[in-house]
């Protein structure tokens, strides 16, 4: 296990802790009760999104706790609710929602980071780290998402990937640990936050996990990108659309032709929580597969290949 070395990457966040608040990702909903929403249900969803955004924005601290967890939990439940999803187009087309969406996603990112940091510290300090990991409220969600992603990649290549770079691994790199433990991958974890890389390293060490290395930095500063079989892009790596496009373009230029890129995205109202990636607009990459779960797994999965 190595300690963070110079490299960088954008960070991914999560929120919640002792009081779980379901994760999810979707585009924001719009202004309350505007005529453009077209239905009373859409207006209700817009009003709730605006209220939740206002309540979260008013908080000085998004660390896990009953009130913060409750707010994020309501937002996630709304984002994955089938009835609300039927109004997604109207909600996301609302001007008020469009205006508050960037800040709402940033609040979700900050809350997610605080959640992961809290649990990483808690697991590292526990007398039984493995048992404490099992208490993390979203552990099953990560297991299900990682399995879905592994099969999405395995269906496209004859041999599974062995050398993986995870851009935006965060303080609680559960996906990376699962890739190493269950699928035999060697994973380099990259995060722009030194704290996140250090906590990820300490977490893996406390759990006795091998096959993982942790680095601090940006993907643009990583040398030897051509050695990877697969590059993971966290949903919050490149939170702003221009940052995401710049990162994708860099990967498209610097990865070896044929290398796979797995980018986490979101669909429908889940875009309230995470940026929505257009699979038809990936610079230097050819989209091979898109998976949109309709379960408690919030993130969508886009698998692309570096063009020859």
What averages of pLDDT result for each successive group of 10 residues across the chain (308 residues)? 34 40 38 47 95 98 96 96 92 96 96 97 98 95 94 88 96 97 96 97 97 95 93 92 91 95 96 94 94 93 94
Helices and strands: H and E segment counts in the chain: 10, 7
What pLDDT was estimated at residue 308?
83
The C-alpha atoms of residue 138 and residue 98 are separated, in whole angstroms, by 29
**3-state DSSP helix/strand/coil % of the chain, to nearest 5:** 45, 15, 40
CATH classification code of 139-306: 3.40.50.150
User: What is the domain partition of the chain in residue ranges?
Assistant: 35-125, 139-306
What pLDDT was estimated at residue 11?
34
What pLDDT was estimated at residue 8?
31
pTM, rounded to two decimals: 0.85
Give the DSSP H/E element, type plus range, for residue 143.
Answer: helix 139-154
Question: DSSP assignment of 80-108, as one string?
Answer: H-HHHHTTHHHHHT-HHHHHHHHHHHHHH
């Amino acid at each position: 296990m190595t300690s963070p070395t110079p490299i960088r990457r954008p960070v991914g966040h999560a929120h919640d802790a002792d009081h779980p608040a379901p994760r999810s990702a979707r585009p924001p909903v719009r202004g309350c009760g505007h005529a453009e929403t077209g239905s009373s249900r859409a207006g209700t969803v817009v009003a709730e999104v605006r209220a939740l955004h206002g309540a979260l924005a008013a908080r000085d601290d998004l660390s896990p706790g009953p009130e913060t967890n409750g707010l994020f939990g309501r937002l996630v439940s709304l984002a994955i609710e089938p009835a609300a999803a039927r109004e997604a187009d109207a909600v996301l087309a609302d001007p008020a929602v469009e205006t508050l969406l960037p800040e709402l996603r940033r609040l979700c990112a900050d809350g997610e980071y605080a959640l992961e940091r809290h649990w990483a510290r808690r697991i590292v300090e526990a007398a039984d780290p493995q048992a404490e990991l099992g208490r993390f409220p979203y552990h099953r969600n990560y297991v299900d998402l990682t399995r879905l992603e592994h099969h999405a990649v395995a269906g496209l290549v004859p041999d599974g990937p062995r050398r993986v770079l995870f851009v935006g691994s965060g303080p609680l790199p559960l996906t990376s640990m699962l890739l190493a433990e269950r699928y035999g991958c060697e994973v380099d974890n990259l995060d722009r936050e030194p704290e996140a890389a250090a906590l990820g390293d300490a977490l893996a060490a406390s759990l006795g996990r091998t096959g993982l290395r942790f680095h601090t930095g940006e993907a643009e500063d990583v040398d030897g990108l051509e050695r990877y079989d697969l590059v993971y892009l966290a949903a919050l790596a490149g939170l702003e659309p221009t940052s995401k496009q710049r990162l994708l373009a860099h990967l498209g230029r610097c990865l070896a032709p044929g290398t796979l890129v797995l980018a986490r995205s979101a669909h429908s109202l889940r875009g309230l929580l995470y940026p929505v990636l257009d699979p038809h607009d990936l610079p230097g990459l050819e989209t091979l597969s898109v998976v949109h779960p309709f379960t408690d797994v919030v993130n969508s999965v886009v698998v692309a290949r570096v063009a020859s």
